[in-house]
Amino acid sequence: MVLLSKPSKNIGGVFEWNSAIRECVKQNCSHKALLLFRQMKQNGLEADNFTFPLLAKASANLCSLSSSQIIHSNVLKSPFWSDLYVQTAMLDMYVKCQQLTDACLLFDRIPVRDVASWNVMVLAFAQSGFLDKVLGLFRDMRFDGILPDTVTVVGLTRASLDSKNLALVKSVHAFGIRIGIDGDVSMANTWISAYAKCEDLSSAMAVFNGVEIGVRTVVSWNSLIAGYGSLEKFINALSFYKWMLCDGYRPDTSTIVSLLSSCIQPDKLFQGALIHCHGIKLGCDSDIFVVNALISMYSRCSDILSSRFLFDGMTDRTCVSWTAMISGYAERGDLDEALRLFHAMEVAGVKPDLVTVLSLVSGCGLTGALELGKWIHQYAFSNGLRDNIVVCNALIDMHAKCGNIIGARELFNVLPVRTVVSWTTMITGCALNGEYKEALDLFSLMVEFGLKPNHLTFLAILQACTHAGFLEKGLELFHMMREVYNINPGVDHYSCITDLLGRKGRLKEAVELVESMPVKPDAGIWSALLSACKIHRNVEMGEYACGRLFELEPDLEGAVPFVEMANIYASERRWDEAAAVRRAMKINKVKKFPGQSLVRVNGKPHVFTVEDRGHPDSLLLYATLDSLSLQSKEEEYWPYLEDFVT
């Protein structure tokens, strides 16, 4: 710990006490700083205009409202209550303690305000995302005749970033140039990361290149690397990292964290581990930010055991550490372990926050764990998350994915505010549960409310049309998407329309669409076409689709195209060709992966396949199934014959 040299009672003047307090604040022992203040008073010494700002800082670090109020009342009793420096420190203290109202009251009472006091307010509202308030303050500040400085412009940039408002970032940038602060490195660094966050990497690059090589700091590089990493341009992020090393810069924790958090795919495990090694070499591998980033990197790269190893080795785990680990298990469907950690977290005295709840909710949706999902729903609502739109959206999604469309609808209907995500989630849920008409109605209603559907909304509604076989409606929406909303369809949108045309027997149009689309067709689109060819017994188109499919996936891993093609030949009684496909399968040793199903019984997941006799109770299970099919025969229910062809 820190060397807390207590000033001796004999020689201790205010100056010595101030130095001791400053040392405590610097070493992150803010509670000791406040204790020293009490001792100082007990020794009959009064705080001065240097003591109060230090105490304010300590109180802000602790986010302690009660100590803030004590310090404030001491200030009011002192002769320094009118000192501008002290007042700004008080202001900052209230802001850091989340007491915006108190800060405003204080701010209004300060007779003469300088840049620093205005900046505290601008930054406070910028951090809370009140763009209107920030712009209003900025205007009033100008009316007051105060010249903004870099801190003000940083606040403005941060506020415009919250809504990813690129136009506003640009105009703030222009303003910065006008008042001549664009030569400042920290200002340039802020703009690099701001442009990156608004997904305008060329502007970010332009600002970066505008900073002279000798003036660039690690933060300049970090901002660029974080920008490319968060836009899933890992290769670029990595090459900038290499470039940074070549230029002789020493990466810091932030560099490592940004790089780690851009390794989000299983095939990035090697690179992720490499960055881990760099972290070790730099000596920052035990930094809590780095460890948290490592946990989520390993889990997202499908190496959950390494995540767990790091997690178990931690001495201090924050809410983020627990959540990273929990969401790792939840994402891969291991809800038992996720829940065990959730309870362990509460035992350890760490309070879960909304992100923790969100990971569990999405895990329930992924595995269809409705009972657990309902429990977490209850938990979220009794812990003050009832009004949180993000949590509610996740809950709607969970209910719908678990087949509880009624629960999803109930929640959706009572939402006080519905975002585009809420509507999209509900439409997806309806499509998933066969409520195609409702999906279409919701879509019209959403548009009537004046909300702008995005590419995912269109995907949801097009999928509903595809499943329902609404060809005209689907085509209409597809056109609306491009003409009215200016959204470029992705491969998934094209896939829906191809599937829809194919199913309706309009194979020629389907193929023409695929051939003319501006995005590269994927395997899914050709598979959809192939199965349409099977339904409509079209050998030529089938062969064509099959050929394209093999071009895309020459490894011949899956059996599906073979089986489909053999069936198409068989349906046209072209037995020789059907047999040839079967032979080709044998020669190429094509593996047949049976489709798996998952069902939860008493909270325990059971995975099974067609004709699965591996379960200990399989005899009983199949007996039950037989009686069920007997029953359905009696009730004259006949499943589609098509389902049994393959």
Partner DNA sequence: ATAGGGTTAG
**Tokens representing residue 287 in the block:** 């930094």
Chain centroid offset of residue 372 CA: 23
Q: What minimum distance in Å lies between the beta carbon of 262 and DNA?
A: 8
**Applying CB under 7 A, which of residues 152, 393, 527, 567 lies at the interface with DNA?**
393
d(C-alpha 536, C-alpha 568), whole Å? 9
**Applying CB under 7 A, which of residues 397, 438, 499, 564 lies at the interface with DNA?**
397
Q: What minimum distance in Å lies between the beta carbon of 105 and DNA?
A: 24
Closer to DNA by Cβ: residue 67 or 362:
362
d(C-alpha 570, C-alpha 579), whole Å? 9
Residue type, 420: V
CA 59, 63, 67, 72 torsion: positive or negative?
positive
Q: What minimum distance in Å lies between the beta carbon of 224 and DNA?
A: 10
Told to check if 590 binds DNA by CB under 7 A, we report: no
Q: What minimum distance in Å lies between the beta carbon of 377 and DNA?
A: 14
Using CB under 7 A, which of the segments 129-137, 433-441, 457-465, 600-608 binds DNA?
Answer: 457-465
d(C-alpha 514, C-alpha 491), whole Å? 10
Number of amino acids touching DNA (CB under 7 A): 62
Tell me phi and psi for residue 599, to 5 degrees: -135, 145
Q: What minimum distance in Å lies between the beta carbon of 460 and DNA?
A: 6
**Tokens representing residue 344 in the block:** 């362990």
Interacting residues with DNA between 619 and 638 (CB under 7 A): none
**Tokens representing residue 104 in the block:** 């405003």
Classified as helix, coil or strand, 351 is coil
Buried-state track 141-170, b at ≥16 Cβ within 10 A, e below 16: beeeebebbbbbbbbbbbbbbbeeebebbb
Closer to DNA by Cβ: residue 7 or 251:
251
Using CB under 7 A, which of the segments 86-94, 107-115, 211-219, 594-602 binds DNA?
Answer: 211-219
**Applying CB under 7 A, which of residues 18, 30, 236, 457 lies at the interface with DNA?**
457
Asked if 124 contacts 100 with a C-beta cutoff of 8 angstroms, the reply is yes
Using CB under 7 A, which of the segments 58-66, 167-175, 332-340, 390-398 binds DNA?
Answer: 390-398
Told to check if 119 binds DNA by CB under 7 A, we report: no
Distances (CA, A) of 598 to 144, 360, 604, 607: 66, 19, 10, 4
Q: What minimum distance in Å lies between the beta carbon of 529 and DNA?
A: 17
CA 275, 276, 282, 286 torsion: positive or negative?
positive
Told to check if 447 binds DNA by CB under 7 A, we report: no
Using CB under 7 A, which of the segments 403-411, 415-423, 506-514, 572-580 binds DNA?
Answer: 415-423
Instruction: Give the torsion through C-alpha atoms of 471, 476, 477, 480, to 10 deg.
Output: 160
Closer to DNA by Cβ: residue 34 or 440:
440
Instruction: Give the torsion through C-alpha atoms of 347, 351, 353, 358, to 10 deg.
Output: 0
Using CB under 7 A, which of the segments 95-103, 418-426, 559-567, 580-588 binds DNA?
Answer: 418-426
d(C-alpha 185, C-alpha 216), whole Å? 7
- Euclidean distance between the first and the last CA atom of the chain, given in angstroms as a whole number: 70
**Strand 604-609 relative to strand 596-601, pairing:** antiparallel
d(C-alpha 107, C-alpha 101), whole Å? 10
Interacting residues with DNA between 213 and 272 (CB under 7 A): 217-219, 222-223, 226, 230, 252-255, 257-258, 261
Closer to DNA by Cβ: residue 389 or 539:
389
Q: What minimum distance in Å lies between the beta carbon of 434 and DNA?
A: 15
Q: What minimum distance in Å lies between the beta carbon of 127 and DNA?
A: 10
Q: What minimum distance in Å lies between the beta carbon of 410 and DNA?
A: 18
The single residue listed with the structure tokens 């020794």 is 43
Q: What minimum distance in Å lies between the beta carbon of 394 and DNA?
A: 4
What is the Cβ-side half-sphere exposure of residue 374, based on CA atoms within 13 angstroms?
A: 8
**Applying CB under 7 A, which of residues 62, 185, 273, 487 lies at the interface with DNA?**
185
Residue 25's contacts (CB-CB under 8 Å, 6 or more residues apart) are 33, 54, 57, 58, 61
Phi/psi region, residue 115 (left: phi>0; alpha: psi -120 to 50; beta: rest), is: alpha
**Applying CB under 7 A, which of residues 344, 389, 415, 580 lies at the interface with DNA?**
389
Residue 151's contacts (CB-CB under 8 Å, 6 or more residues apart) are 115, 116, 119, 123
**Applying CB under 7 A, which of residues 327, 404, 433, 538 lies at the interface with DNA?**
327
**x-or-dash string of contact with DNA, 492-521, rule CB under 7 A:** x-----------------------------
Told to check if 420 binds DNA by CB under 7 A, we report: yes
**x-or-dash string of contact with DNA, 328-357, rule CB under 7 A:** ---x---------------------xxxx-
Closer to DNA by Cβ: residue 37 or 322:
322
Residue 447: exposure state from Cβ atoms within 10 A (0-12, 13-18, ≥19): middle
Using CB under 7 A, which of the segments 17-25, 290-298, 369-377, 582-590 binds DNA?
Answer: 290-298
Told to check if 293 binds DNA by CB under 7 A, we report: yes
Told to check if 128 binds DNA by CB under 7 A, we report: no
Specify which residues 604 forms β-bridges with: 601
Classified as helix, coil or strand, 605 is strand
Q: What minimum distance in Å lies between the beta carbon of 515 and DNA?
A: 22
The footprint of DNA (CB under 7 A) covers: 154, 158, 185-186, 189-190, 193, 197, 217-219, 222-223, 226, 230, 252-255, 257-258, 261, 287-289, 292-293, 296, 318-321, 323-324, 327, 331, 353-356, 358-359, 362, 365, 389-390, 393-394, 397, 419-421, 424-425, 428, 454, 456-457, 459-460, 463, 492
